[in-house]
A = this chain, B = another copy of it.
Amino acid sequence: MDEQEIGILRLGLDFSQPLYEQIVEQMRGAIARGEIALGEKIPSVRELAHGLKINPNTVMSAYKELERDGLTETRRGQGTFITSAQEKVDDFRSEWAEQVIDEFLGKMENLGYTVDDIQLVIQRKKEDKE
């Protein structure tokens, strides 16, 4: 997991998942956590590709998906920017979380865990970390 700093981002990629998806997820995270300010420019396709040592087309795929998500806006000849609408970011964050949670609960229930079991396990996880 070679980590690279590109602009304000610190990205690391592995090979167990499509590269472009990893970029998308890490960007989504950085935006949702507010590490990139609204309206801010993100690295150009070429810049990021060079920094991560991957093909520009791969970065393009990632950037297009972010735009479809409504998280970025691309301005021809200028670059790619985070949306300036806080609302879009918030909507995306909660929808995305909802989806992740439902998938998780489904898998756990499939294994026979009740919601109470789940709460307990998470609680234990939390205490382990401390």
Contact = CB atoms under 8 A, between A and B. Distances in A.
State how many copies of this chain the complex holds. 4
Interface residues of A, number: 36
B122 A105 contact: yes
B96 A111 contact: yes
Contact of A25 (B68, B76, B97, B110): B110
Contacts of A93: 111-112
A126 interface: yes
A57 to B, nearest CB: 9
A108 B73 CA distance: 25
**Taking chain A's interface residues, is the majority helix, strand, or loop, or is none over half, making it mixed?**
helix
Interface of A: 15, 18-19, 25-26, 28-29, 32-34, 68, 73-76, 93, 96-97, 100-101, 104-105, 107-108, 110-113, 115, 118-119, 121-123, 125-126
A73, A100, A105: residue with the most chain B Cβ atoms closer than 10 Å: A100
9 contacts: A15-B74, A15-B76, A19-B76, A29-B111, A32-B110, A33-B112, A68-B68, A100-B111, A115-B126
